Amino acid sequence: MSEVLRNTLVKLQALIGLIGLAALTPLLILAAILSRLIAKLCRCPKPKSIEGEVAVVTGAGHGLGRAISLELAKKGCHIAAVDINLSGAENTVKQIQETYNVRAKAYKANVTNHGELTELNNKVVADLGPVTVLINNAGVMLHRNILNPDPADVQLMIDVNLTSHFWTKMVFLPPMKALRKGFIVTISSLAGVFPLPYSTAYTTSKAGTMAHMRALRMELALEKQKNIHVTTVLPTFLRTNDEITQMSNTIGIEEIYPLISGEEVAHRVVEGMLRGEHEITLPDLASVLYRLLFLLPIDWQMRMTLLLTGSRFKEFTKMRS
Ligand SMILES: NC(=O)c1ccc[n+]([C@@H]2O[C@H](COP(=O)([O-])OP(=O)(O)OC[C@H]3O[C@@H](n4cnc5c(N)ncnc54)[C@H](O)[C@@H]3O)[C@@H](O)[C@H]2O)c1
């Protein structure tokens, strides 16, 4: 068979596949909505217990990381509070110990450094036991010069928000695979699906983490590791970080959707994690909105987004340049 004929047949096969999928789509959407409704109504699957398990929470010294650490401790989980800022992590541990009857310890580690994470795992295993819950929360959003960002800031956002998740996966996943159980939660952002102009490194890093976790979930399914759950969280702007709260106020984000507290996100994240949810958007409605937007041609997606937010970002650039 000639190459031209073979290529034509392959293209024809792809076209037939596409037509078949388009014809099936309404049925698949209906089935997905029904299964979601049933799951919501009967609150199934039942949440798993993490009592007595050990969690590593990165960026646990402040904001959302601290709130998630407290929420996990409430479920009876022992906590390794990890942060580049040791005093923040120690403060989190103090709050846990004042309220919950679990073991908690603060560790100083930089998530961008694979060697430090390997050492961290050794210490946590010796102090608390094998890690079966990993919360990839540490993240940075820098806006020092948004029109002409410093290359070091771009590099740092990619390293902390994206590359570090490869290192934590390499260090903490193999023992989970050996135990055939675990939870990996990755804090991405709605910026991963609704790109933020003038925050391209942040947007890219958050879209990257979502793609990374989607691929990892498929790998675990292929390896029949059905008791290792991967949850990606895509929140809107939060009230956890003063600088980001100030930026959100500047661009009027509150007029589109109110900022969410770290405690509210932490509660939703831990509940979702224990039920094995794959992706959690906050607010929930955003998951429908971004899927609808993705059905539009790319130029219309951009027009719609700019219509809603364009003037706010213009204001932001004026104030930051
Ligand atoms: N704040 C928001 O509006 C918002 C919105 C969506 C997603 N998020 C994401 O949620 C996560 C937490 O955000 P937050 O608002 O609580 O941030 P935060 O700045 O309050 O806390 C982040 C913590 O991470 C630590 N950290 C930073 N770099 C580190 C490194 N290299 N190694 C170890 N620890 C490091 C910091 O010391 C800090 O304690 C981040 O991934 C962020 O991108 C935040």
Tokens of 238: 């939060």
Q: How many helices (H) and strands (E) does the chain have?
A: 11, 7
Q: Is the CB of 203 under 6 A from ligand 1?
A: no
Please, what's the b/e burial string for 257-266 (b: 16 or more CB within 10 A of its CB; e: otherwise)? eebbebbebb
Distance (Å, whole) CA 283 – CA 256? 12
Nearest ligand 1 atom to alpha carbon 245: 3
pLDDT at 36: 83
| Angstrom distance (rounded) from CA 192 to CA 269 | 17
d(CA 202, CA 142): 8
pLDDT given at position 282: 97
Residue listed under structure tokens 């049933």: 38
Residue 80 Cα to ligand 1 middle (Å): 16
Question: What's the CA gap between 71 and 188, in Å, rounded?
Answer: 19
CA of 140 to the centre of ligand 1 (A): 5
The domain spans of the chain are: 51-320
pTM of the model: 0.94
Fold of 51-320: Rossmann fold (3.40.50)
Binding site membership of 227 for ligand 1 (Cβ less than 6 Å): no
* C-beta of residue 144 within 8 angstroms of C-beta of residue 165: no
Dihedral sign from CA coordinates of 89, 94, 99, 100: positive
Q: Give the per-residue pLDDT at 246.
A: 83
From first to last of the 321 residues of the chain, give the pLDDT tens digit.
Answer: 788 999 898 889 999 988 998 899 889 888 988 888 888 787 667 899 999 999 999 999 999 999 999 999 999 999 999 999 999 999 999 999 999 999 999 999 999 999 999 999 999 999 999 999 999 999 999 878 788 899 999 999 999 999 999 999 999 999 999 999 999 999 999 999 999 888 999 999 999 999 999 999 999 999 999 999 999 999 999 999 988 888 888 777 777 888 999 999 999 999 999 999 999 999 999 999 999 999 999 999 999 888 888 777 777 777 666
pLDDT at residue number 197: 87
DSSP tag of 130? -
Centroid of ligand 1 to alpha carbon of 22 (angstroms):
40
Sign of CA dihedral 285, 74, 92, 111: negative
94: three-class secondary structure by DSSP: helix
Specify the ligand 1 atom closest to the Cα of 60.
39
